[in-house]
Structure 1
Amino acid sequence: MADADGRREARTGEQVRKYLLAEINAALRRPGMFGGEIALRIHFDAMAFADDRERLWSEERDSLQGRRAFLSTGVRGAFESLWGAGTDDMAASVYAEFAHRHGWLHLDRVLSRDEYDKLIGVTTAWCESDRTLGQTLGMFGPPSIYCGGTSPYFPKALVYATGHPRDPLLCFHFWNEFLDSRTDRTALYDEPMLLAVRGGGSGFADGFTFTPAGTNRRGGA
């Protein structure tokens, strides 16, 4: 909008905040399109400044390092140390935790208390067998946020959440990849396979419940 002299007026603080919130939520859902984990950190730095939460965001980064959820190679590095690969969608699910606690995360679906408690109650049994992305969506319904693209050939994460910031996010981590061949573009799985469900835990690795596929990827650990 221009003033009476034709000069452009600066946007208000609330307009800037809404823009940053929209960018954060888009980047969490499609982190690869926005520049990956580095871009997520930049977005969160800007949002923390706009909301005067720089100290809390700094403390969060320290906490991630203390829990071994952030290594010298970032959050992606923490996943890589866990099962040999770290992707932007995996990292996005961790950044989403801080966003949820501080009211930045816009949920596509808000789980009721009953839905959330049921999900927690069946997680261990669900992970006793290998599960596909389609089976998981069929069982638990659409996620609160979907991290990653829709292509079945690449990893992704489904995040389920209530509207209560203190409730840990429940993150379902799926894996797929192309077979190692210059000519063979066949994927390892017909659709992404669940490796683990993550939720809570004092240490990063403590929060995972692994499927057989996830345990195998860790070398049987």
Structure 2
Amino acid sequence: MDLDAASPTGFGRGTAAAARAATPGEVDCDPGRLLERLNQAVRLPEVFGGLPAVVRLLDRLAASEAQGTHQVWIPDTNGRLAPSMMLREGFPAPDIHVVASQYGEDAHRRGWLRLDRTLTSAEHADVVERALTWSQNDRSLHELVAEFGPPSVTFGSTDPDRPKTVSYVTGDRTAPVAAFHFGSARTGAAAGTGDGSRVGAVLLGVRVHDDFLGGWELTPFGEDRFC
């Protein structure tokens, strides 16, 4: 995958700290405007200032709600064998949407993420229970939507042929977030099949929580890309 030119260098360790240092500027503390800007930036960070803008907005929202500054967001964490860290750093050139989706999960936990679709408890349970097994085969975005319906939020381009992360969540902010990561397969045979060329967005893997055992799954195509 091509690394988006708008993304900062160094996904993972020090991501948020580097972003904070890289983005001085005028402080806007109005919660309504901050929420609006966050929901734009986290969906399309390459258009709205990159990952530094997302971090800055998260920090300002936390400060406006007296949660304190310098929160530890998911991309700040580097737990050994944590799927969130491995998905950020395990591919040769991780796309900006992978990291943005983890910031989006942080925003959802705090009630800041505006959802395009809120799953019912039954719909959410179905996604969480079947996501890992379903992702043991190569899948397209079309297949995902046909199986589980439209996602709750899309991080990255809405073009079905472009890399992106789509997440499924319910109104319970403590419940698992099922995040499906898609990368580009521009040329060559589809991974794991050997049955000709394949283009467009292809599922790399899914993460439902941060337990190394039972928290994530890679597709055959994702395994071929994973370091």
Name the structure 1 match of 2:114.
Answer: 106
| Residue pairs, 1:100-139, within 5 angstroms | 100-139=108-147
Deviations 1:21-66 (A, max 9, x none): 01111111111111221221111111111111125x5244696234
The equivalences for 1:180-219 within 5 A come to: 189-202=198-211, 207-218=215-226
Q: How far did 1:117 drift?
A: 0.9
- CA–CA separation in structure 1 for the residues paired with 2:75 and 2:128: 28
Q: Distance in 2 between matches of 1:54 and 1:113?
A: 32
1:67 CA displacement = 5.7
Q: How far, CA to CA, are the matches of 2:151 and 2:135 in structure 1?
A: 17
What is the alpha-carbon root mean square deviation over aligned residues? 2.8
C-alpha separation in 1, matches of 2:72 and 2:99: 18
**8 Å contact kept, 2:39–2:114:** yes
Shift of 1:170: 0.5
CA distance in 2, matches of 1:208, 1:101: 19
C-alpha distance after superposition, 1:60-89 (max 9, x if no partner): 4696234677xxxxx8x8545212221111
The yes-or-no answer on 1:146 pairing with 2:154 is: yes
- Which of 173, 183, 190 matches 1:175? 183
Equivalent pairs: percent with the same residue? 32
* Structure (1 or 2) with the larger CA radius of gyration: 1
Q: Which amino acid aligns with 2:121?
A: R
* Alignment match, 1:36: 50
Distance 1:92 1:98 in 2: 10
8 Å CA contact 2:140, 2:202 repeated in 1 = yes
Find the residue that maps to 2:47 and give its secondary structure: helix
Higher helix residue share: 1
3-state DSSP class of the match of 1:172? strand
Secondary structure, in 3 states, of the residue corresponding to 1:32?
A: coil
TM-score (norm 2): 0.74
Q: 1:141 to 1:61 in 2, by over 3 A?
A: closer
Structure 1 pair 176/47, CA: closer, same or farther in 2 (3 Å)? Answer: same
Task: Provide the rounded CA distance (Å) in 2 between the counterparts of 1:159 and 1:149.
Answer: 14
Q: Are positions 1:156 and 2:169 aligned together?
A: no
Residues 36, 97 of structure 1: alpha-carbon distance in 2 compared, 3 angstrom cutoff: same
The match for 1:183 is none
Secondary structure at 1:53's aligned position in 2?
coil
Structure 1 residues 206 and 59: alpha-carbon distance in aligned structure 2, compared to 1, 3 A threshold = farther
Asked whether the equivalents of residues 38 and 54 of structure 2 are also in contact (C-alpha less than 8 Å), the reply is: yes
- The number of residue pairs the alignment matches comes to 192
